[in-house]
Amino acid sequence: MSTTSPLLVKPRTDSEVYHHITPETAQWEYLSFEARQMKLGDTWEWDTANNELVIVLLSGNFKVSSNKGTWETVNGRKDVFSGVAHTLYLPRNTQFTLEATSDNLDIGYGWCAVEEDFPPKFVTPEDTPVVIFGGDNATRQFNDLVPPGFGCSKIVVREVYTPSGNWSSFPAHKHDERILDDEGNVLEPIQEETYFYKFQKPEAYAIQQVYTQDRSLDEIVRPRHNNVVMIPKGFHPVVAEHGFHCYYLNFLAGTDQCLANTTDPDHEWIYDSWSGKDKRLPLVTAEMNKH
């Protein structure tokens, strides 16, 4: 099991921006991702230029002023295990200033170059779709922050809660070649993906495999709190360490704004094997943001 894989990115400790992943650093084409921690009164100014951008509130509160509108969070969660995210989508050519209105502001955001314009959109915890997916010890919770059909060009964003000991991103699936059916519908897109992990305790970890069918890529990594795992291609299942719930934030970008994928053929049978749902879920709800 690797702790030095090029797919596993550990956080920086010398900067407010503690993750910085771009097509150049990741050696892929579409997706960029950063994570940033700010103190009360700190500001961040940026121009989206030819990119669409999604900002996800991990903890704290912020307000944003821009040439496309203003938005403010007032019931931000104290951490990712204490409620549901606020999500802000900003289109191309948006100049904005984000100000931390609390201490310990923590945000994750991703962007990619696009050729279309969509309206900005601010989604509160109360309006975020929550899905309990899977079954048995592969049950997990999706908070669909920017789901397919959201009203954007390429980005998809989801936060996932996997209870202690459960499998996630499972049965294993991939999205690394564009496959269409006879009517032109997307059966599988090309999408790059980041998994940004958080845990309730520093000693906790998950185990993630990234592999291709021919095993030309076949790695197993052990992400800890605030680590990122990059998924350039291949299947990528996850399991949460027993005793510790696992959170990860997924950004995807590529040829299509969808969540179509291809399951590892060795795992197809598993969908019909589940007999129930894990009763520990949901792990978080929008009601928790109010406390």
| CB atoms near residue 247 (< 10 Å) | 24
Return the residue matching tokens 């990234």.
Answer: 210
Report whether pLDDT(3) > 70.
no
Per-residue pLDDT, 291 = 75
Q: For the residues 268-278, what does the mean pLDDT come to?
A: 97
| Top-level class of domain 8-282 | mainly beta
Per-residue pLDDT, 132 = 98
* Burial class for 89, CB neighbours closer than 10 Å (0-12, 13-18, 19+): buried
Share of the chain above pLDDT 70, in %: 99
Residue 23: which region, alpha, beta or left (left: phi > 0; alpha: psi -120 to 50)?
Answer: alpha
Say what the pTM is.
Answer: 0.97
CA nearest neighbour of 15 among 41, 43, 40, 38:
38
Helix (H) or strand (E) holding 230: strand 228-231
- Separation of alpha carbons 105 and 194, rounded Å: 21
Per-residue pLDDT, 290 = 85
| pLDDT tens, position by position, 122-149 | 999 999 999 999 999 999 999 999 999 9
| pLDDT tens, position by position, 22-69 | 999 999 999 999 999 999 999 999 999 999 999 999 999 999 999 999
Return the residue matching tokens 């779709």.
Answer: 129
Contacts for 242 with CB less than 8 Å, ≥ 6 apart: 164, 165
Q: For the residues 96-111, what does the mean pLDDT come to?
A: 98
- The domain ranges of the chain are 8-282
Per-residue pLDDT, 155 = 98
Compute, in degrees rounded to 10, the torsion defined by CA atoms 37, 250, 115, 232.
110
Locate 270 and state its tokens: 């598993």
Share of the chain above pLDDT 90, in %: 98
- Separation of alpha carbons 197 and 208, rounded Å: 11
Q: Are 245 and 200 contacting, i.e. CB atoms less than 8 angstroms apart? A: yes
Query: What DSSP letter does each residue of 248-281 carry, written as one string?
Result: EEEEEEES-SS---EE-GGGGGGGGT-----TT-
Return the residue matching tokens 């915890």.
Answer: 125
| pLDDT tens, position by position, 168-208 | 999 999 999 999 999 999 999 999 999 999 999 999 999 99
Report whether pLDDT(1) > 80.
no
Report whether pLDDT(17) > 70.
yes
The three-point CA angle 105-107-109 to 5° equals: 160
Q: How far apart are the first and last CA of the chain?
A: 40
Q: Are 268 and 199 contacting, i.e. CB atoms less than 8 angstroms apart? A: no
- Separation of alpha carbons 180 and 178, rounded Å: 7
